[in-house]
Amino acid sequence: MSATTVMRAAVVRVPGGPEAVRLTRVPVPVPGPGQVRIRVAAAAVNPVDLLTRSGALVAAGRMAPRATTGLGWDVAGTVDATGPSVTALAVGDEVIGLRDLLDVSLGTYADYVVLDATAVAPAPEGQPSAAAATLPLNGLTAWQSLAALDLPPGAPLVVTGAAGAVGGYAVELAALRGLRVVAVAGAADEGLVRGLGAEWFVPRDVPDLAAAVRSAVPGGAAGALDAAGVGLPALAAVRGGGAFVAVAADAPPGLRGIRSRNHWIAADGAALGQLSALAAAGRLTLRVADTLPLARAAEAHTRLAAGGLRGRLVLVP
């Protein structure tokens, strides 16, 4: 258990560019009933962190203004303390977890973080902490989006942004479910997404996405998981009565009887445990673009905003 009372945390007080990320010292949080405190070994940097830092989520009405806003959703680390009524986890357990509350003053960009025990799962055995930290937010987003699509084995599924963090997990998990994946990504990533399990490939800059998909899958795909914010062109690639889930932008109207919806992530320790087991067995590919110390969180935001990364940047306290 930690003997320290003060820790470092990267927060935002005045929304803005990467320079708005400030490293500060705050009291070490104390776990309450049903919670655990995790000594952070690694925290992934995600696009939602950039939206939080810039104030875009407040402007969109998805987050209330705060004097201090915490950053970071993903964590890999070691249970440092447990609150009352926690029985499934113990001090010393290596874990991964997801912080899915936006309106909080501390996130996972910190030395310690407190999470509900139900948001935590055993870390994938044999995987370094930096790699494990890339799994919770992106892996659960893909997992839950596929569940929302609810397609039967053998059904063709379009995945946009297939080379990205969410899209890559979606391709692998869809293939494990027996779905036949049409991957949409940059031309240079064809080998990558086929290696993840895609049966067909469509370059993202093709003039007519729907026509390209329908040439491979007559009548159109049974569903689409839009991880790149493509919107209507991806919806047009889905057959009537199919399903569409958007994770990077607002879902388009459900034309032609298509079930169209957004997926909003929810922490789920049980599902995260299943993802962790798949990663430990080598059935999910954990991709780290680079690791940086916590003090360089602003630099990580700059690099993520510049694009071109394959895998996640990870902060290591």
Top CATH class of 138-262 equals: alpha beta
Amino acid at 233: P
**Backbone φ and ψ of 24, nearest 5°:** -135, 170
- Residue among 301, 235, 246 at smallest CA distance from 56: 301
Topology, domain 6-135+287-316: Quinone Oxidoreductase; Chain A, domain 1 (3.90.180)
3-state SS, 153-197, equals CCCEEEEECCCCHHHHHHHHHHHHCCCEEEEEECHHHHHHHHHHC
Burial of 198 (0-12, 13-18, 19+ CB in 10 A): buried
Q: What is d(CA 262, CA 265) in angstroms, rounded to the nearest whole number?
A: 10
pLDDT at 2 over 80: no
Q: What is the pLDDT of residues 76-112, one digit of tens each?
A: 999 999 999 999 999 999 999 999 988 889 999 999 9
**Torsion sign, CA atoms 19, 39, 4, 291:** negative
Contacts of 209 (CB under 8 A, 6+ apart): 184, 202, 230, 233, 234, 236, 237
β-strands 238-246, 221-226: how paired? parallel
Contacts of 27 (CB under 8 A, 6+ apart): 5, 6, 7
Q: pTM to 2 decimals?
A: 0.96
Domain with CATH 3.90.180.10 in the chain: 6-135+287-316
pLDDT tens, position by position, 242-273: 999 999 899 999 999 999 999 999 999 999 99
What are the structure tokens assigned to 215, written together?
A: 């040439």
Q: What percent of the chain has pLDDT over 70?
A: 99
Residue 248 is predicted with a pLDDT of 84
The whole-number pLDDT of residue 288 equals 98
Query: Where does the chain hold its CATH 3.40.50.720 domain(s)?
Result: 138-262
Mean pLDDT calculated for residue range 308-317: 94
Tokens of 170: 């979606």
1 pLDDT more than 90: no
Backbone φ and ψ of 48, nearest 5°: -60, -25
pLDDT, tens digit (0-9, with 9 covering 90-100), for 152-177: 999 999 999 999 999 999 999 999 99
Name 26's bridge partners: 7
- Measured CA to CA, the distance from residue 123 to residue 288 in angstroms comes to 16
Would the pLDDT of 53 be above 70?
yes
